[in-house]
Structure 1
Amino acid sequence: MHSEIQSYRPQLAVTQWYRGIPADLQDYLLAHSSLVRVGKGQRLYKRGDSFSGLYAILDGALAMGTVVADGREALHAVLGPTAWIGEISMFDGLPRPHDALAMTNVLVLHVHGSALKKLLADKPAYWAYFGMLMAQKIRVSFENNESMQLLSAAQRLASRLLLIAGGYSGISQTQSTLKIAQDTLGSMISLTRQTTNLLLKNLEGQGIISLKVGEITIRDFERLRAASLGNAIH
């Protein structure tokens, strides 16, 4: 198992947080982890669970948010490889603040909570590196909040597609094909499925994106950026 985990090191190093931490911390995280598979529709963890460690997504996509009893969703992000998640409860010691729901079959690297507690007790200076991980996500959260208040529906949709494709400012790997359903995308930017579909069809008609069931492929990033700024598209 350890050699299999080590084989994911180059993939983990694609994203800036893992690449930027000291080599001995990189080694420690891999040496005290295991691989976990989560089936589509299942939760890696749910809101209210106690802290059990950190996770890095190696394959598939996880929706971060909350699903209430009547089925309504409040989704913050859909993260793919190689996003690290779970650090909030590591800092405040409180239960998980949201659900981590598998949108596809998912493979994650699980760094065990007991190992992290020992590491940070022995080397408290390493708290700073995990703080950087959390700060990176706070910045993205502020950007999302601003776009929700200041941008039109069409701009919000274009901006969110760019954000997901860009790996949430380096949290995940960049990609051009997004495994995301239209209703999930709409929920993230407070749009109905009908409005989301209409806006996506408009972008598709202009050759900026292409659509398949549960999948959006960005064909022209430059024109999508123009749409996100509210500029005319030619």
Structure 2
Amino acid sequence: MATRLHPWSHGEREDALRCCPLFANWPAAQLADLAGIARAEYYPRGAEIYAHDPEKREAFVIASGGVEVSRGSAAGKKFVLSVQGPHEILAIVRLLAAPPIHYVYAAYEDSVLLHLPCDALAAILDAEPILWRDVAMLMCARHGDSLRQLNDQKLGSLEQRMAAMLVDLARIHGVAGAAGIELGLRLPQEQLGAMLGVTRQSVNKLLRGLEEAGLIAVDYNRITIRDPAMLDTLAARHD
């Protein structure tokens, strides 16, 4: 369940929105308008974002924390599409008036989100139509990511898919450290299995193989990428 924070000032909302790549180059006037419609909400770890209104027409920017995007099968199996971190905008497809696909958005850790009502966001975009170009480019990039993910699922080996997923997670959550690139979030093997659509046992075997090859180091639920170049090469390969 969302909990309203102390009211963020207009300047605090504006600063947080400026960090989002979609809005980074917006003119000051339009960014100020955007901050005016934004609403800050706090979500504890595990809380579902649209729990009370699955079709609510709001996008949101992750000000802090992280959000898991998933879907469930009719048989009850959960498939995690991604875990997104600070400054990313999600659910922007809800700008469309058609009912959205029912992805489940949930706080992966304690998170603060800036909610953007889609009708008000569309009005800002309509008043400065060139800004729709940024939305179109973002959606094209995400469509490309979806096609690549589908390609990997159909053509890639399980090892290649694991490598590609770790590369993506490092791009979003990676922090450079003395031992390599540390993935700045907890990644239980059950979570990795849900992201790949495989069992925990398969994940354990894959991680052991990558660790023995010197590509990663695993410490409890934390992963460090020790050889990013080789992991990139493995991620791009299709056997």
* TM norm structure 2: 0.80
Q: Secondary structure at the match of 2:100?
A: coil
Aligned equivalents of 2:161, 2:70: Cα separation in 1 = 18
Q: Is contact 1:51–1:93 with CA below 8 Å preserved after alignment?
A: no
Percentage identity across paired residues of the two chains: 24
Aligned equivalents of 2:154, 2:52: Cα separation in 1 = 26
Q: 1:42 to 1:23 in 2, by over 3 A?
A: same
Superposition misfits of 4+ residues, deviation over 6 angstroms: none
1:38 lines up with 2:43 in the alignment: yes
1:61-210 alignment runs, 5 A limit = 61-67=66-72, 71-167=76-172, 175=175, 176=181, 177-179=183-185, 180-210=187-217
* 21-30 or 181-190, which deviates more: 21-30
Aligned length: 223
Aligned equivalents of 2:236, 2:122: Cα separation in 1 = 44
* 49-58 or 157-166, which deviates more: 49-58
Q: Secondary structure at the match of 1:105?
A: strand
Q: Is contact 1:37–1:107 with CA below 8 Å preserved after alignment?
A: yes
- 1:172-204 CA distance string (max 9 Å, x none): x65441423222222222222111111112222
- 1:4-43 CA distance string (max 9 Å, x none): 323425633xx3x332444443333223212211111111
Instruction: Point out where structure 1 has 5 or more consecutive residues left out of the alignment.
Output: 168-172
* 79-88 or 207-216, which deviates more: 207-216
State the shift of 1:77 in Å.
1.0
Q: Is contact 1:46–1:96 with CA below 8 Å preserved after alignment?
A: no
Aligned equivalents of 2:236, 2:131: Cα separation in 1 = 39
Task: Please report the RMSD computed on the Cα atoms of aligned residues, expressed in angstroms.
Answer: 2.7
Q: 1:106 to 1:69 in 2, by over 3 A?
A: farther
